[in-house]
Structure 1
Amino acid sequence: MERRSFSIEQKGRTLFGYAARFGDPTPIGGWTETIQPGAFKRSLAGPAAASIRAVYEHNDAALLGRVGAGTLRLSEDDVGLAFELDLPDTTLGRDLSELVKRGDVAGCSFGFIPVKEDWQGEVRSLQDVDLHEITITANPAYQSTSVSVRSKKPVQAIAHARRYLEFLECIR
């Protein structure tokens, strides 16, 4: 009789949170900046979305994932720019997972080019941006950003369990 076990995704391999939150006034240099709902919508829907990547501390050499590879998933909801990131099985990925679990790294940032912005005195409102990256960071400009560790997506856990139960039925 053959037996198979279905590997369960390693715990602590998926990060999730908000790389940006809407309507959160944040001091940046000599001005205050806010992000408006819809600011990321065009970037996420366009052909360049596949090249948006996740990095550590705005360092291109510290690549963590990319939309086009399916390892980074981005969406804009009514709160802000939400993300899920499957960490690579690298030293950086393992170390970052541990740093996030411990709370040493607890925020995010993003790299962009403004397409449409509105200035009211010293307040800059980002209305549309070309998003190039999100970054996981210990020192976010926007303090309301967040990153946490998820051990397994509930949908994947159910799918694994269903396949395992189907397999058990087959061998009985």
Structure 2
Amino acid sequence: MIHIRNAREDEAELLSEIGVRAWQKAMAAIGEGDAMVDAARSAFFNFVASSWITVTLIEWNGHPAGWAARESLDEKISDFWIDPAFVGHGLGTALLQNIEEDIAAQGFDTAMMQTHSGNSEAISFFQKHGYAIHWLSIAYNPKLDRDVPSVGLSKSLESADDGTYGLV
């Protein structure tokens, strides 16, 4: 059973480890993860410990299985991580729908996110859910201490006549 809730302050270690496992899976396909795993682990922990209030956690049968964050509590999804051990149960779709509902409820008409340009699994996932790529860039990431090629994706959340959103 899927349960979505706000993260708690005492879950920083747990959430950072979920993030690291998901990040390692994504980076394995790109081939750059091994050299950066310690920096990534530190970045995840520091982020979750300081910004846990912006994190939404998804559980599968009582087990924490993934999380998403909106670091600035705006329309941008800053983090989206599903533990590889829990992929394939619809958790990503449920979590994304929850986050999009929060964004729309706060009056934003667009959801945005960015990911590594080589993260084809994430790009495909978001495109399957109505996101389109709008830009490509290479920018310095201070958390990882290196340049990272990224793509930006967005999706309209405008309401349809029947009260639903995201169908535009």
User: TM-score band (shorter)?
Assistant: under 0.3
TM-score, scaled to structure 1:
0.27
Structure number with higher strand proportion: 1
TM-score, scaled to structure 2:
0.28
Bigger-Rg structure (1/2): 1
Structure number with higher helix proportion: 2
Answer 1 or 2: higher relative contact order, Cα 8 Å, separation at least 6: 1
